[in-house]
A and B are shown apart, each in its own frame.
Chain A
Amino acid sequence: MDIPYTVTARKDTGLYNAKVGIWLFLASEVMLFGGLFSGYVFLRVYADFPWPERALPVVPGLINTFILIGSSVTIVFAWAALKMRKWRQFQVFMIITLLCAGLFMVLKGIEYKAKWSHQAVRMKDFVVIEGHTHKATIDNTGHIHHYHPEGEHGEKGHAAIGDEANGMILVAAEGDSHGEEGHHSDEGLTQSEPFEFNRVVFKADSVTVDLEKFYDPVIRDLMKQAQDQGKSIVLTGDLYGRSTHEVDEKLLASKGDLLSLGMLKKLRAVHLDAKAHNAAIKTKQNRKAWAQLRGSLPKDQKGAPSYKIKGDLVLDEEFNKFLVSAPSSVRFEIMDAAEEGTEKTAASATFVLKPREVREGAESSSLRDGTLLEGELDAKHSQIEMAADAIDFRFVAQRAVEKGIDPEVAIQNTWLIKNNPEVKELWAEHKSHIDKLAKELEKHGFDKNGKPKQFPTDTERYRMGWQELVNMGEGKEVMGVFSGFAGPNHKKDYAKHFPEIVVPREETNLESKFTPRWNNYYAIYFLITGLHGLHVIGGALVLGHFLFCGKKMYLNNPERLANRVEVGGLFWHFVDLVWIFLFPILYLM
């Protein structure tokens, strides 16, 4: 009992089953990518920010285009080889196809990685600063060390925040290995370090945990950070509670107990049991009251809507005595971890937190699971410090034009220009350069309105990119085609030209790496190319299956294997075609 037309075509349709299937599948895929491309058009047309044009590195994209086109050719050769029953030839072409797929993904990975290690900040006044955020490491003598590209101590990078010996002993946030030995030497971090993330530093005296919402990783992180500073998180008072009225209230935790997940879970269990118990009591109370109320009504009003009669509802107070109480949140204090037997003394601990996971305030900050820290925000160490490889005023200019303000004035009034003399200088130099360019372009003539026919673009006028920054001022660097292969190059010779910028957190309204979060251009870029990448991987897996596991079928039924390769090849062509649309839309337009 076999399904017909798996190998040979049906006469009246001229197709074998899998071929019908793959065309249908591709039609569905067209709708999927069609939806995403429509999304791209919609988002770009209605964008209220300057859409980044040609922001992606073209060279890897271009190479990838040719790689995929090439592999589409070799897959056809592989199929043809099968049709001619030349197994070895099939193997060769299939291997080339798979290598192309691998190369494509490697280049894609390089491209992605460059974005994930590159950060941007949008100020409240819509100045955009791109670059690498410094990660400070705080060593056990309390010195805060910053990376700065020149590798010398105390010049640019340390001008803003000097070393500070306040007795803090912290390890880097997240407990990763980069904050370990060797990085706080005077030479600074080496170039390969991922020195791009920033943090919120909060000096807390107390921690209040919401028993229903607390999240284990958050609590664990707090405990670890406190422990590393030699502090303990200690319960402030005895906690009593019970989960039903049938048992007596008992001591759940006593003053001085250390914060632990086990304790929190135990308290949560009692709290939830008590809550369920109370809810059941109140439900009974409510039900009884409603039954009595409906029972007391005259027959023709028994079905009256509840909003009309709820005023007459009488709750039976007897039920209230069955209600129990148990704590729903617990407050802890930070203490010095004293020797056994001696009295602990109140202290504070400094917590290093990820900006997205905390809603910070001057006196209290709440974490993402509702845990409340009380104390004092360390605003100075919560600042964002960057080696800026691009400063972008396009958004400022766009908003100024929308409001009818002169963009130049708006830029002069930005926080960055006012507060950072170095940037101010760079901007002045950039402006004179652009004015010169505009003058030069005027020689192409004017239109009938008296405007020059050619003029600098907004990007040229309002953005100082990394190559421009490198070549401003005295020293000029020679840059090859591949020096910016996947994005701004932070090697020492270049990075020394990047201005050091320190931004207080309250002046910013968005900080992000170049991930989907940064703006919709990167969001749609990652979504479409990511989905396309998954298609490449999926297609390569299927083709690899034909290559490595196809020999048996080749010997039994080579035509069937050829059909499979043909179907796989059709899919591969589709994947190629999607890229051919993607490349110009995302990289060139």
Chain B
Amino acid sequence: MSAAAPTADHDHGHDDHHHDDHHPNFLQKYFFSTDHKTIGIQYGLVSLIFLLIGFCLMMVMRWSIAYPHEPLPEWMSFFFSEDWKARWLQDGMVKGETYNMFGAMHGTIMVFLGVVPLGFAAFGNYVTPLQIGAIDMAFPKLNMMSFWLYFVGGLLMLASFFLNTGAAQSGWTNYSPLAGIQQSGAPNQWMTGQTWWLLAMVFLISSSLLGSVNFITTIINLRAKGLTWMRLPFFVWAMLVTGFLLLLAFPPLEAAALMQLSDRVFGSSFFMPSGLVTGNGALEVAGSGSPLLYQHLFWFLGHPEVYVLLLPAIACVAEIIPCNTRKPLWGYRPMVWSVLILGFLSFIVWAHHMYLTGMGPVISTFFQTTTVLISIPSVILLTSLIISMWGGSIRFTVPMLWATAFIPMFGIGGLTGLPLAFNLVGLHLHDTYYVIGHFHYVVAPGILFGLFAGVYHWYPKVTGRYMNNLLGHLHFWPSLIFINLLFFPMLIQGMAGFHRRWYNGGDAYLAQASESANVFGNTVEQYLPLNILMSNAAFWLALAQLPFIINVFFAWRRGKKVENDNPWNATTLEWATPTPPGHGNFTFEPSVYRGPYEYSRPDSEEDYMPQWHEPSQSEPSPAPVEKESDATVA
């Protein structure tokens, strides 16, 4: 007998989650919130803290490179306990294993806990639903879960520093078999930093899986009325592609992490080749595993991950430039197609990280070709951004400064990557500081500058107050100078042959100076003194971040109040909300009537035409957006 079939009644359909909508208590409001804006802010703050931690690790490493025989200065070691220093420093100097540990964790923290959560999760969470006119993400509870998984994963990473074995020490790539046998002398393999790295990664991967499912669903299904695909702000397109990259690229790393975990704690040989011998003699493992398999699985994630880092930054810049040049984004449609193609190509370039593994010339050539191909959409994106500024009357607000600096900085990063795409050049440059310089140019002055631009740009919407202008300039100019002093010499040193894993700044290499000369003489030695310049630039760069930290907290309560809900006179939907937006975001049901970058239209009195403004008599009724934007571009 079946129960009487009730009729569907939508009004009662949400009985299981409407109780916390209106009167959340303190915990629900600030900690276990399902509101995309709160989650975005949580992500933002936590990831900024992780960026700071990653930066501190880097300073210790830079000290060891520049002053290899000198004990860590007091100002840098005050936050380590005496016991910890006794374990990890040799008479106050950085030990090789400590350097390795900091190196591995610097990379891990910066990439997985800092930049990705800041770009994709923080900005994506806060801005995407607003820009598409949605009241929240499609799955608010999953969104909250995603944040807490990230948080737990991050804590696990940090906690691993305090284990007896210390944190992971095999580079942020965690290559096997090194990572498989690292710390294998510990009596309990579950309590080693190397194992916790893998466990934490499982948390982070689950977090990004939930996040990306949520983003894509939201963008596909919750767009406001009239917001057709070609009316989406470029930011949303970038988030959509980023979501797909995370969704599809991370799982193979999860597979690799599980295999490595099994190698470590169950003694399997997925990545352990036959006949492996270590300092303790031959390993008692079955063998026949493949270290190359790990690298394939890792870089299958690793390369799309680069674009996961990049796209949110370029997305922020693409919003800020048209707003501050008062011109439409030049080449909106080519940019959209480029970002889609970029997303696709990023899945088939991974093995250019592996030219030196002996994959064979055929495979190398294939990946060399695809790698060169991927520079085409990247260049289209960057060129469009440059041309967007052409002929505009640019307002050099602080966010615009960062966005402007992003372009040449990312340009250097991108162009220095081209030689690395070629496997012959790769033989020479592989594992040198040239590579370090290249990807740091992409990530630090490139991506982070773009994200800083985003922080300054959307801060008024989040808090209702502007960030301080003077502090903003005090942040920007020193950062620009010191970051170049830090990274540009790396390119020079790298070409001279400076190896990326020398913990003592090439000192051991120089001890064998007679053997280290090549046909050009001892090319490394003459560039070693640059280490001191670079390291000091890093320390000054740290100081240059202080104005930012002060600014974020100072402006929160004391900053200048915004005059209206749309302080930058921008066109996209997030500026149609109250400031700061309340629960549910919009006070009216948003409808979209035109493309996202309608600045300086000749037929309009004001120099911008927001997407949500109903067309007036003079404006023709909303035509298909393709023609409209073509006309604007022309």
Q: For the complex, is B67 an interface residue (Cβ under 8 Å from A)? A: yes
For B220, list chain A residues within 8 Å (CB): 13, 15, 20
Please tell me which one of the listed residues B66, B91, B247, B251 contacts residue A35 in the complex, with CB atoms under 8 A apart.
B251
| Contacts A48-B288, A517-B266, A554-B3 given; does A7 touch B510 at CB 8 Å | no
For A313, list chain B residues within 8 Å (CB): 69
Q: Which of A38-46, A59-67, A177-185 contacts B (4 or more CB under 8 A)?
A: A38-46
Interface string of B245-282 (1 = CB under 8 A from A): 00111111111101100100011111000100000100
Interface string of B496-529 (1 = CB under 8 A from A): 0000000001010010000000000000000011
Q: For the complex, is A356 an interface residue (Cβ under 8 Å from B)? A: yes
The interface size bin for chain B is 35 or more
Please tell me which one of the listed residues A39, A272, A519 contacts residue B286 in the complex, with CB atoms under 8 A apart.
A519
Q: Is A35's CB under 8 angstroms from B3's CB?
A: no
Question: Looking across the interface, which residue of chain A has its beta carbon closest to that of B293?
Answer: A42
Please tell me which one of the listed residues B83, B255, B270 contacts residue A43 in the complex, with CB atoms under 8 A apart.
B270
Chain A interface residue count, CB cutoff 8 Å, equals: 90
Q: For the complex, is A401 an interface residue (Cβ under 8 Å from B)? A: no
Q: For the complex, is B532 an interface residue (Cβ under 8 Å from A)? A: yes
B184 smallest CB distance to A (angstroms):
10
Please tell me which one of the listed residues B70, B209, B249 contacts residue A290 in the complex, with CB atoms under 8 A apart.
B70
| Contacts A87-B3, A305-B528 given; does A557 touch B69 at CB 8 Å | no
B3 smallest CB distance to A (angstroms):
4
Q: For the complex, is B362 an interface residue (Cβ under 8 Å from A)? A: no
Q: Is B267's CB under 8 angstroms from A213's CB?
A: no
For A356, list chain B residues within 8 Å (CB): 267, 284
| Contacts A35-B256, A279-B85 given; does A27 touch B247 at CB 8 Å | yes
Q: Is B2's CB under 8 angstroms from A87's CB?
A: yes
Q: Is A89's CB under 8 angstroms from B2's CB?
A: yes
For A556, list chain B residues within 8 Å (CB): 6, 9, 12-13, 15
Q: Is A2's CB under 8 angstroms from B14's CB?
A: yes
Q: Is B138's CB under 8 angstroms from A3's CB?
A: yes
| Contacts A275-B86, A279-B85, A518-B286 given; does A17 touch B221 at CB 8 Å | yes
For A523, list chain B residues within 8 Å (CB): 259, 262, 266, 268-270, 286
CA A27 to CA B347, docked complex, whole Å? 15
- Residues of B68-125 contacting chain A, CB below 8 A: 68-74, 82-83, 85-87, 89, 91-93
B336 smallest CB distance to A (angstroms):
18
B306 smallest CB distance to A (angstroms):
18
CA A7 to CA B7, docked complex, whole Å? 13
Question: Looking across the interface, which residue of chain B has its beta carbon closest to that of A4?
Answer: B222
Q: For the complex, is A303 an interface residue (Cβ under 8 Å from B)? A: yes
Q: For the complex, is B136 an interface residue (Cβ under 8 Å from A)? A: yes
Q: Is A17's CB under 8 angstroms from B139's CB?
A: yes
Interface string of B125-156 (1 = CB under 8 A from A): 00000000001101110000000000000000
CA A381 to CA B220, docked complex, whole Å? 68
Q: For the complex, is B8 an interface residue (Cβ under 8 Å from A)? A: yes
Q: For the complex, is A532 an interface residue (Cβ under 8 Å from B)? A: no
| Contacts A5-B222, A279-B89 given; does A306 touch B270 at CB 8 Å | no
For B628, list chain A residues within 8 Å (CB): none
Q: Is B86's CB under 8 angstroms from A310's CB?
A: no
Q: Is A32's CB under 8 angstroms from B16's CB?
A: no
CA A526 to CA B270, docked complex, whole Å? 12
CA A6 to CA B140, docked complex, whole Å? 12
Q: Is A306's CB under 8 angstroms from B83's CB?
A: no
For B285, list chain A residues within 8 Å (CB): 510, 517
B216 smallest CB distance to A (angstroms):
5
Please tell me which one of the listed residues B3, B89, B289 contacts residue A520 in the complex, with CB atoms under 8 A apart.
B289
Q: Is B85's CB under 8 angstroms from A280's CB?
A: yes
Q: Main secondary structure on chain B at its contact with chain A? A: loop
Question: Looking across the interface, which residue of chain A has its beta carbon closest to that of B12?
Answer: A556
Q: For the complex, is B23 an interface residue (Cβ under 8 Å from A)? A: no
| Contacts A21-B213, A283-B71 given; does A516 touch B532 at CB 8 Å | no
For A560, list chain B residues within 8 Å (CB): 8, 13
- Residues of A261-277 contacting chain B, CB below 8 A: 272, 275-276
Q: Is A32's CB under 8 angstroms from B255's CB?
A: yes
CA A155 to CA B4, docked complex, whole Å? 74
- Residues of A13-29 contacting chain B, CB below 8 A: 13, 15-17, 20-21, 24-25, 27-29
| Contacts A5-B221, A28-B251, A42-B293 given; does A283 touch B288 at CB 8 Å | no
Q: For the complex, is A141 an interface residue (Cβ under 8 Å from B)? A: no
Q: Is A286's CB under 8 angstroms from B71's CB?
A: yes
| Contacts A5-B221, A6-B14, A28-B248 given; does A49 touch B135 at CB 8 Å | no
Which residue among B68, B214, B287 has the maximum number of chain A CB atoms within 10 Å of its CB?
B287
Q: Is B93's CB under 8 angstroms from A46's CB?
A: no
Please tell me which one of the listed residues B73, B213, B288, B528 contacts residue A25 in the complex, with CB atoms under 8 A apart.
B213
CA A276 to CA B269, docked complex, whole Å? 39
Please tell me which one of the listed residues B216, B254, B268 contacts residue A32 in the complex, with CB atoms under 8 A apart.
B254
- Residues of A199-221 contacting chain B, CB below 8 A: 213, 215, 217-218
Q: Is A553's CB under 8 angstroms from B16's CB?
A: yes
Question: Looking across the interface, which residue of chain B has its beta carbon closest to that of A368?
Answer: B187
Q: For the complex, is B634 an interface residue (Cβ under 8 Å from A)? A: no
Q: Is B86's CB under 8 angstroms from A279's CB?
A: yes
Q: For the complex, is A139 an interface residue (Cβ under 8 Å from B)? A: no
Q: For the complex, is B395 an interface residue (Cβ under 8 Å from A)? A: no
For B365, list chain A residues within 8 Å (CB): none
Question: Looking across the interface, which residue of chain A has its beta carbon closest to that of B2?
Answer: A86
CA A89 to CA B15, docked complex, whole Å? 25
Q: Is A35's CB under 8 angstroms from B300's CB?
A: yes
Please tell me which one of the listed residues B15, B138, B188, B269 contacts residue A519 in the complex, with CB atoms under 8 A apart.
B269
CA A48 to CA B274, docked complex, whole Å? 8
Q: Is A1's CB under 8 angstroms from B135's CB?
A: yes
CA A313 to CA B285, docked complex, whole Å? 47
CA A459 to CA B531, docked complex, whole Å? 61
Q: For the complex, is B583 an interface residue (Cβ under 8 Å from A)? A: yes
| Contacts A20-B217, A47-B288, A276-B82 given; does A307 touch B262 at CB 8 Å | no
For B258, list chain A residues within 8 Å (CB): 527, 531
Q: For the complex, is A72 an interface residue (Cβ under 8 Å from B)? A: no
CA A217 to CA B74, docked complex, whole Å? 39
Q: For the complex, is A36 an interface residue (Cβ under 8 Å from B)? A: yes
Please tell me which one of the listed residues A3, A86, A305 contacts residue B531 in the complex, with CB atoms under 8 A apart.
A305
Please tell me which one of the listed residues A27, A283, A306, A519 contacts residue B68 in the complex, with CB atoms under 8 A apart.
A306
Q: For the complex, is B1 an interface residue (Cβ under 8 Å from A)? A: yes
CA A5 to CA B135, docked complex, whole Å? 12
Q: Is B221's CB under 8 angstroms from A517's CB?
A: no
Which residue among A1, A38, A278, A555 has the maximum number of chain B CB atoms within 10 Å of its CB?
A1
- Residues of A65-124 contacting chain B, CB below 8 A: 81, 85-89, 122
Q: Is B139's CB under 8 angstroms from A21's CB?
A: yes
A88 smallest CB distance to B (angstroms):
5
| Contacts A43-B290, A272-B86, A557-B9 given; does A520 touch B269 at CB 8 Å | yes
| Contacts A28-B251, A48-B274, A520-B286 given; does A20 touch B268 at CB 8 Å | no
Question: Looking across the interface, which residue of chain B has its beta carbon closest to that of A560?
Answer: B13
Q: Is B1's CB under 8 angstroms from A88's CB?
A: yes
Q: For the complex, is A34 an interface residue (Cβ under 8 Å from B)? A: yes
Please tell me which one of the listed residues B10, B14, B71, B251 contacts residue A29 in the complex, with CB atoms under 8 A apart.
B251
User: Chain B: residues with CB nearer than 8 A to chain A?
Assistant: 1-3, 5-6, 8-10, 12-16, 18, 21, 66-74, 82-83, 85-87, 89, 91-93, 135-136, 138-140, 164, 185, 187-188, 209, 212-214, 216-217, 220-222, 247-256, 258-259, 262, 266-270, 274, 280, 284-290, 292-293, 296-297, 300, 505, 507, 510, 528-529, 531-532, 583-584
16 further A-B contacts with Cβ under 8 Å, apart from A213-B164, A556-B9, A557-B12, are A3-B222, A15-B221, A28-B213, A42-B290, A85-B3, A275-B86, A276-B83, A279-B86, A279-B91, A287-B74, A290-B69, A306-B67, A307-B68, A520-B270, A527-B262, A556-B13
- 26 of the cross-chain contacts (CB-CB < 8 Å) are A3-B136, A27-B248, A28-B212, A28-B251, A31-B249, A35-B252, A38-B252, A39-B259, A85-B2, A85-B3, A86-B2, A87-B3, A218-B187, A276-B83, A287-B73, A305-B66, A306-B70, A307-B68, A307-B507, A356-B284, A510-B285, A523-B259, A523-B268, A531-B258, A556-B6, A556-B15
